[in-house]
Structure formats: structure tokens, C-alpha cells
Structure 1
Amino acid sequence: MDLDFVDFDGVPFTVPESNFVVFRAENSLEIYCVEYERPLTDCLVAEIHPSPRNMEFDAQARDGHFRFGTCEVAVYKNSLWIHSTDAIVVKKNQNRLSQTVSFYDVSDDPEARDVRISYSGALVPADGEVPTSWLAFREIADAVVERWMEKMPRVSERRIPMARQCWWVLGGNQVRFAGSDGEILRGIVPSKLGYVGLWQWDAYFIAVGIANGDLNIALEQLRNVVKFQTDTGQLPDVVFPGGVLIDSSDLPEADRKKLEADGSPTVGGRTVPLTKPPLLAWTIEQILTGRSDTVRHQLIKEFAVIVANNQEWWFSHSDIRGEGLPEYLHPYSSGLDDSPVFDHQVPVPTADLAAYLSVQDLILSDWFLDHPEQSIVYAERSQRTHKKLLDLWDEDLGMFRCGYDVQTLQHRTIVSLLGVFDGRLPAPMIKGVLNDIQVPTRFAANYPLPTVSFDDIGYREDTMWRGPTWINTTFLVADGLDRHGYSAEARRLRVAILDSLERAGGPVEYLDSTSGNRCDTAVRNFSWSAALYIECAVREFSESPYRRASDA
């Protein structure tokens, strides 16, 4: 299959289970091996210069290989083969990688000059037996991508081009590495451009979308997340080659410097746990929709105790006031790293976390129906948390506050809208949320939902969680609206997700809410955007008159 969206610039070439990423550089190609928290400039391993060097750049990608003049390059896992019937220069580059890059001169054609590059080490599993013939190598490389693309779920015809690109991204962002226990994991990273690890809540959204075409890989993402659950029930923020990010003492240096530059109240404080929002049970319920009772029973049996232990961790380790409402101890644990709600106080009670915890306890109550006493405990705690959420509502402001201090400046952000995730808001509150969503000076954007209200002093159109639209939070708000019975508004937001990513040209990390363009600092080929595009496109197709007629 031709990969016409791979332009070797914004969308570089890569394949499933590989750390290799190939970009263009004027009329040559640059080969990188990407690693966790390592700048791309440190990951350049080789350059390919064709002959003549002034030839016009015209690389064409297809499945697991691409053509570049008289040169062909195929990638299978962490082996890359360069095959050319003309003179080329393969220039090795000094890199700063933690693993080993090896170069081999190989050729089964006396007229060709072939070079194979491999990437392996203690944290990266070897590829096993690799074909020694160029044609056999290219064939096996193509087969990997072909098999993946065949799994793409059915969507409406007009969504197929972007769905193909998003499904390819979800395959291309797969990597293999050894965890801290030495076992090999296969995970879908947020992006091979800057996020080469497994982030907890990324895994949740990725699993929701990818389950439409490959349930096994979706469940692998969840098992990767829970594999390193602590004895206290905490789930780590990030799983990466050889380690986990479990508390603020483990933060990479780049993150520390950013927090200092932002003037975060967390700088210089005590070490605190790092995790991500408690959405595991919700994710499993999303995946279980439409599946058999047998699958449902198996997954609940596998994950129920894990979720229950994690829920206990939140209430025993993050309820620092002892009032029954856990708080984010660090902005990173919210997933909304630089949101203005964390400018003035951390820890802080927030509507989103209260809603997540209330829903997770409600799901646990259902999962433990065979254990009535436990089921009642979860149901009662869910109700108490729900009431704590309602206590955060500010009638004068018409939104959920962050914290109880009336003197603290309140920002109108996506955090307030996420209170709707609770699914049980009284009519005045749900109408207040809907009003914010529909008022042009607040969240009624061309490409909704901005993460900060347009009229808030903290709004920045292009700064991560301080204004741009993120696909996952829009999806969560839509989910909450659905459970309140506002299905038309929820459907409108899901269609907006599809239109937004099509306008942006692909599954970008975040985008300008007004223009729909990718923000300059946003990563391309972002997995949860790709996964939620797939989820929304599948839902749209299942609800369409065409689908209902064709299935009749």
C-alpha cells in the first residue's frame, strides 16, 4: 500500500516495533534511532547521500520500504537495509545512544552496494533471524505493515484517508523494550518524536481506539500499565526502557527546568508520587462495549482487584486534607501539566479528579456485585465523592472551582467542563457546563474544545494546556454529556474531533481551537489523537443510516 501521507518531513518513515525513524534533509536522508528522553539530535546514526547529490528529492514510501532515486530502504523491526544499484554514500554519524548501532556491508547482487544497520542492546531485544537476501528482507518488512493495515476497522468512505493515516500511526508508534524487570514489552508510545515511553493515560486512550481493530494489542497496553503497580496500589506515570517514573525525584532534567521556568509551586517541595488520572476501569468498560459476556467476565476478573487497589491508593495517599476528596499532588499527575489551575496552588481539589474517582467507584460497585459488602462500599464512596464534586460548584461563577479558597484566582478551564464526566450532575450544573460549551467567548470554538476559556486571562492560543484543543479532553467531555442524555451534543463534539484532525492534516498532539492548525510546538503522529479519531470514526459509521441499511 502506498503511504502517500509519509512526506519524510512532518511525517517521517517508520514501521511497527522499530526505533528507526527516517527524515529527509534537503536531497539526502537522515536515519535516527529514537530513545526515551533523548533529543533527536543525539539520535542521528547515519545519512544517505545518493549520486548525483544534486538530484531532486523524491522518496516514495510503500508498506515497509521506500524508494529514493536508485536506492531502496526497508525496515524490519530494528534492522534497516539500504539497497542501491548506483553509487551512494552512507555516512555514519557519532550518536549518544544508550544502545548499540552496528553497520554491515551485505549484498546478494554484485551490481549493488548494500548496507544493513541494526540497533540492539540490553534494553532492546534482538530481531532474531533476519533474512540475508535483500528481496526476502523487503518482503518480510512489507508483510509486517500489510498485516497491520489489514486490521483497520471499517469507517465511512469520507473518513478512510485520515483513518488510514491514523491506523498507520498506531502501528508505527509500536516499540519493543525491556522493562525494569528485564521482560520484553510491546507498547504503543505517544509518539516516536519526543515520547518514546509508555505514559499511563495515553495507554488508556490508545487502548480505546485500537481495540476496534486489535483487541489483543489494546489489552497489552493496559497490562503494560499495571505490570509495575506498587504494593500500595499506585500506578506509575511512565514505563520506559529499564525503569518507571513513579515520583518527582525521578523527573528528567528537562522537566525540572521547565517547572522552574514556569514558576511552578512544586519546585523545591518534597518528593511526591507521580501517576495519571484514574481511568482504567472506564477504559475497560469502553473496550467491553458490544463484546461477549465471556470476554467481559475474563477482563473484569483480570483487572478488578488491580483497579480496586489503585482506587484505595488515591483515597489513602492523595486525600491530604483527610476530607474524602483526593487531590493531585503534582500537575503532572493530572495529565494537564501546565494548566493555569496549577499556577497558584498544588495540591488542589479539582472537578475532573472527583468525577473520575466517582465513576471508577461506581464501576467497581458493578464489578463486585458477587461480593455485596464490597459492592456497597464502592457505591457509597462513589456517592460521597459525587457530593464532594458538587461542593466545588460556584453558583456565582457558573463553574466548578479548583480548591475551596475564595481568595484564590479561579481560571475557567477544561477542568471545570470535565466535571460532566461524573454523569450525575443536577440540571442547573449540567446546564452551566453546556452554556460554557456553547458561548462563543468561552469554549464555543471552531475546533472544540479549547482547554482554557477564550475570555480567561490565562488563555494562550498555542501553549499546551493553556488554550489549544486536545482530542482526549474533548472526548471525555463528550462521554460525560452522553451519560447525561445529551447525545446530540456529544455526537457533535465527536464529529468535531474528526473534522479537527482532518483540518490539522493528521493526528497532532494539540491544535489551535480557532484555525484548526497544528500548534508549532505540538508533536505530529500522536497516538491518542490517532486512536480517538479511529474510535469516533467507528462510532460515526455504526450510527449512520448506510451502516444500518447494509447490515439489515
Structure 2
Amino acid sequence: MSAWPGAGAFLDLDAVPLTDRGSRLLIFARPDGSLRVAGAVYERHADRCTHLRRLAVEDADGRQLPVTGVGPEGISFSDGAVSLTFVDAETLSLGVADEGPLVRVVLEAFGTDELGQPISEADGAPIRWCSTQGRATFGAPSIVLPAGGSVSVRMGGAVRATPEPGSHGRYVEAASGRWRDWFDKLPAVRDSDREMARYAWWLLASNIVRLATHPDLETVVPSKQGYVAAWQWDSYFISFGLRHGDPKLAADQLRLFFAEQAPDGGLPDVVHDGGTLACVADMPPGDLVALARIHGPDSPMVTQAYMPITKPPLAAWAARAVDQAAGSSLQDSVQAELKGGLDRLHRWWFDRPSPDGLPGYEHVYSSGLDDSPLFDDGGPVFAPDLPSYLVMALDSMAALADDCGDVEEAGAQRSMADATADLLVAERYDAGLGQFVALTPAGRRETLTPFALMPLLTGRLSTQVLESLRESLTAPGALGAAYPLPTVALGEPEFDADKMWRGPVWLNVNWLVVQGLQRSGMDAEAADLAERTVHMVRESGGIHEYWNPLTGARAAGATTGFGWSAALFLDLAVWLASRRK
């Protein structure tokens, strides 16, 4: 059915459900070959969000018709004899081809309440079934459809067994048109990357929702399976990939967070349907339990209700990248639009408590590294990555000042960037170890992670320091894995190939190091890491949350169809394609 096999080939309806731009509906396969419709809900796994327990299509003899094709525009049964497509965010249409067989559509709701009304496991979206005579039917209704017949199912609405003639064909055509328009924006990549790039581009659109708190903006969430909200870090990374084909949508991912900026300049970690997560008091109970288990029930990261939780400051860099991709003038610049908020954000970070003038992370979630050994001693942690991001941010603001012809502002921003980079080397670089280290409540933490390479982003390191980082990048026992970069060096006792931030490859980490290598004039090393990264993604057969650095396969516990991985795969693929020109 699909006109875009590079996307449809990955929609297995098992790990990767079918969904649509803006929809909260997820269509999964059941073990018996029928379908299940789930909902996308913040902090709830799709297995616990069933709207429609079973949707099956049977022939006149009661035999179930198999699913034979899946694409962005819908699902086909029996080689197109019957098809299913999205009408809108809440409505599905199932129709029989004009020359198709007579079929029976079986629809099973999850159950009924004490009043006999149907309910679903998902929040706020009960299903109501109506027969052609208008009488409500519950349990397991079935509808007989002749050739050319169709039925529509609306979550929270009714089944229409007698829709307008020809409507299903128009719905399929409209869905195909929507996706054709989206794929027309796909950025240019090499032939070897095109199939995975199409899938990545589909993922970005398919992960779009409208949050109840910001219904005017399309928000690209990390995944509709549990990650149904905007995380600050994710949104920045997603914008880097989106900018190549839809810079306006990319800019909106940044505007979302600055619409929630606190008066003191801080930004929330998460924006979700119910509000924001900006401090410990906002955290879901499950997260507090997990943190108490790791860091102890008396940890300030659990007990200090008003400890801020945010994410690393990549906004200025992302905004400038979006403007450059769009060719924006100053009048249209999203960086210029957000300048006041960006300056306040940077001041907020530099005003945080610090032993030596370099800011740190009070809460582990603010670093984005939930279980990294850098936080095994608790918090705060003064790691080398945060000052590096701030140098990038200040350089981006200096470039904006250059655009505006403000020499004094540009000089002030660069002077602060220079001072921060100098202090980073003076305070965090250990010449004996040949690496950057972190400060924790227990003292120095020398565990080697790729975050020790983030000072490459400053573009200001000496030849001696660069050579030591080059060695860490490739040495066996360090970060030189078969599939780089492990998030903990292979020779460290904390290394675990499958445990989130304690060993697996995260695509955003590789991407950040590629950018740092470019900024530090190490173009060959940047290209090699980018090439190995996109190769790993292609060979793994999907766009996952994180990968095993020893096998290159999806790591145990990692979700798939992950937003920032899709966006940054695209960004790397676009860059590699541009190097051939």
C-alpha cells in the first residue's frame, strides 16, 4: 500500500505502531494477527492505554483477513482488498475496495462501566458504538461491509456504519497527500542513507502532538510510547534535524520552552499536558521512587521540593542553527526573537552555586544523564560538559550580535566565552590523566565518559589537550568500542553495555562529539565518527533510544522510534552528503 517503502518497511506494528501526525492513537498488531488501538498518554506505557482491544476483518466464512501492508498512509488487508487509514487525529476509517469481498469488521471495546457504558484503559477517551439504527451496542459489535462499504471509528465518538459514499477513498487519498507533502520536504542524503532517512523523517512527523497547555503549537515528542511530552534537551536535538526540511516546526520546538521561562531565567525540564516539570515537587511518583533507590531516600534530589530541574543550555546554538538552515533575516530570526530569554537563561546558569566559577548540575535529571556514574556520589556534580555547552551558547550570542552590528555586545559575549573556556581547562583538565574530570560531593570523579570530550565544543583547546582527547576517543579500554561511543569507557568498572547511561551508545552523545571535533579542526575524526554512527543505525534496522556498543544492536531496555535519534541521524546524514559536493 505504501508509496514510501523506506518508511513503511519499519512499521512492524509491534515495536513500532502506526500513528499519524497530531494523533494520540497507536495501532499495534495483536498475537492473533488482529489489531489493537492504544492511546498516547504522558508517563503511561501504551500497554496500559488500550482504547480498542481488538479490530479484526473477517471474510464471509469467518476467516480473519491478514495484514499485508503498512505505510504512513494506512494498513492494507489481503493485498488491498480492505484498508484502514486515519481520517483525523481521533478517527479511523476502514473500507472495502470497490471490487472487494463482503467482510465482517469485528470491534471489541475494552469493557463497560457499572452503567453499561464502554470504557477504555486510556485516560479521557471512552469509545461509544452506535449501530445503523442508532441503538448503542456494547461488548463485541461486528459490522458487515459489502464491496465499496466503509465504517469509521472515533475515539470518544461513534462508529458510523453508513458513512457518506466514497468517503473512505477520499480519506485514503487525503492521508496519502498529507504524507506526500511531508516527504517532499525530506532533506537530501546519500543513497545508502535514504531508506533510513525516510523512516526518520516519518518518525518526526508521526511523533507530533498538540499539548493541552500549548494547543497552538505542534510539539514533536520523543516517542508516543510513554514519552508523550516535550523534554527540553530532546526538543533542542529534534530541532537540529527538523531544520533541514521544516525550519518553522523546528523553531516552534524552541518557542515552547521559552513560553514557560521562569522570571529568574530558568527553563523547565518538561512541558506536558498538565503543566511543567520544573522542580523536584513536580516529579512523577515513580521517578522519586527510582531516585530514592539509587541515591537514598534522604538525597536532596528527592527531598528538596524546590530544587530546580532543567536540561543543558543548547537553546542559543539550536536557534542559530535553525536560522542558518532557513536563511532567516534578522526580522525573521528565531534567535533574535528569543534573545532576551536566552540571555536570562545563560545568566541563570552562571548564577548557580559553584566552587570555582564553573556551573554544575544540582539534580541528575538536569544533566540528562539519569543513571550515569558521574552522579554515583550524589549531587551537585560539576562536569566538563556544562561549561562547554555554555561556551557554545555564548559564541552563538556573539554571532547574533555581529549580525546586528553590535560590536560591544559581541565582544562581551566572546570575552565571557573565552574566560569560561580558560577556566574549564584550568579547573577540570588533569594533565596527568590526559582527560577532563568532574567534581562531586565525594571529590574528583575520574570515570571516563564521552562527556569528558565535550570541551571540544569550545574550539579553544591546545594541541596537547586535543591529542589527549584524540587518544581517549579511540583507545581500546577507553571509548574505542566496535560501535562508538560507549557512554562509559570500556575499561571502567561501571561499564554495562545495556544500561542506559552506563555504557550504551546514545546518538545525541555521538552527535555532540562530532560537532566538537568539527569545532576543534578535527574534520577527519568528525567524519569517521559520523560515518560509523549512521552505519550503526542502518545495520541495527531501526532508530532506537540507545545501542549496545559491543554489538551495535538495540540495547536491552531501549525503546525504538525515538525522536532525537531520528533527528540527529538525519543531521549527520545531511552533513555527510554535503561533504561529497
Query: Match for 1:43: what amino acid?
Result: C
Out of 14, 18, 23, the position equivalent to 1:13 is: 18
Query: Match for 2:107: what amino acid?
Result: V
- Give the equivalent residue in structure 1 for 2:115: none
Out of 314, 317, 322, the position equivalent to 1:279 is: 314
Cα displacement (A) at 1:262: 2.0
Question: CA 1:338–1:406 in structure 2 vs 1: closer, same or farther (change >3 Å)?
Answer: closer
- Give the equivalent residue in structure 1 for 2:44: 38
> How many residue pairs were aligned?
532
Cα displacement (A) at 1:307: 0.9
Whether contact under 8 Å (1:131, 1:137) holds in the other structure is no
2:172 corresponds to 1:161: no
Alignment partners' CA distance in 1, 2:233 and 2:376: 22
Cα displacement (A) at 1:50: 2.9
- Give the equivalent residue in structure 1 for 2:138: none
Describe the superposition over 1:310-367 as per-residue Cα deviations: whole angstroms up to 9, x where unpaired. Answer: 1011122x2x136421110111111111110001030111100011112212222332
2:73 corresponds to 1:64: yes
2:333 corresponds to 1:298: yes
2:220 corresponds to 1:227: no
Whether contact under 8 Å (2:316, 2:396) holds in the other structure is yes
Structure 2 gaps of 5+ residues are: 97-101, 111-118, 133-142, 158-163
2:379 corresponds to 1:346: yes
Whether contact under 8 Å (1:103, 1:115) holds in the other structure is no
Instruction: Map 1:122-521 to 2 at 5 A.
Output: 133-179=167-213, 183-263=215-295, 265-271=299-305, 272-289=307-324, 292=327, 294=329, 298-316=333-351, 318=352, 320-321=353-354, 323-369=356-402, 370-390=405-425, 391-403=427-439, 407-521=443-557
Alignment partners' CA distance in 1, 2:277 and 2:539: 35
Question: CA 1:267–1:325 in structure 2 vs 1: closer, same or farther (change >3 Å)?
Answer: closer
Question: CA 1:78–1:293 in structure 2 vs 1: closer, same or farther (change >3 Å)?
Answer: closer
Whether contact under 8 Å (1:351, 1:400) holds in the other structure is yes
2:58 corresponds to 1:51: yes
Cα displacement (A) at 1:13: 1.0
Whether contact under 8 Å (2:517, 2:523) holds in the other structure is yes
Alignment partners' CA distance in 2, 1:141 and 1:489: 43
Describe the superposition over 1:4-63 as per-residue Cα deviations: whole angstroms up to 9, x where unpaired. Answer: 221111221111111111111122111111111122222111111332676474341233
Query: Match for 2:84: what amino acid?
Result: V
> SS of the residue aligned with 2:485?
coil
Question: CA 1:49–1:114 in structure 2 vs 1: closer, same or farther (change >3 Å)?
Answer: same
Alignment partners' CA distance in 2, 1:346 and 1:194: 27
Cα displacement (A) at 1:239: 0.9
Moved over 6 A (4+): 106-110
> Structure 2 length normalisation: TM-score?
0.86
Question: CA 1:266–1:397 in structure 2 vs 1: closer, same or farther (change >3 Å)?
Answer: farther
Alignment partners' CA distance in 1, 2:187 and 2:237: 16
Q: Quote the sequence identity (%).
A: 30
Cα displacement (A) at 1:64: 1.8
Out of 71, 88, 92, the position equivalent to 2:105 is: 88
Query: Match for 1:39: what amino acid?
Result: H
Query: Match for 1:86: what amino acid?
Result: V
Query: Match for 1:92: what amino acid?
Result: A
Cα displacement (A) at 1:227: 1.4
Whether contact under 8 Å (2:486, 2:505) holds in the other structure is yes
Instruction: Map 1:93-132 to 2 at 5 A.
Output: 93=110, 94-105=119-130, 111=146, 112=149, 114-118=151-155
Alignment partners' CA distance in 2, 1:110 and 1:341: 60
Question: CA 1:270–1:290 in structure 2 vs 1: closer, same or farther (change >3 Å)?
Answer: closer
- Give the equivalent residue in structure 1 for 2:572: 536
Describe the superposition over 1:427-476 as per-residue Cα deviations: whole angstroms up to 9, x where unpaired. Answer: 22211111011102111112211110000111110001100000111111
Question: CA 1:110–1:441 in structure 2 vs 1: closer, same or farther (change >3 Å)?
Answer: closer
Whether contact under 8 Å (2:456, 2:517) holds in the other structure is yes
Structure 1 window deviating more from structure 2 (265-274 vs 462-471): it is 265-274
Whether contact under 8 Å (1:80, 1:116) holds in the other structure is yes
> SS of the residue aligned with 1:325?
coil
Question: CA 1:119–1:330 in structure 2 vs 1: closer, same or farther (change >3 Å)?
Answer: farther
> SS of the residue aligned with 2:58?
coil
Whether contact under 8 Å (2:534, 2:573) holds in the other structure is yes
Question: CA 1:135–1:404 in structure 2 vs 1: closer, same or farther (change >3 Å)?
Answer: closer
> SS of the residue aligned with 1:140?
helix
Alignment partners' CA distance in 1, 2:441 and 2:91: 57
Alignment partners' CA distance in 2, 1:449 and 1:529: 14
- Give the equivalent residue in structure 1 for 2:561: 525
Alignment partners' CA distance in 1, 2:58 and 2:414: 70
- Give the equivalent residue in structure 1 for 2:84: 73
Question: CA 1:45–1:313 in structure 2 vs 1: closer, same or farther (change >3 Å)?
Answer: same
Describe the superposition over 1:246-285 as per-residue Cα deviations: whole angstroms up to 9, x where unpaired. Answer: 1111111221122122236445431311111001111123
> Structure 1 length normalisation: TM-score?
0.90
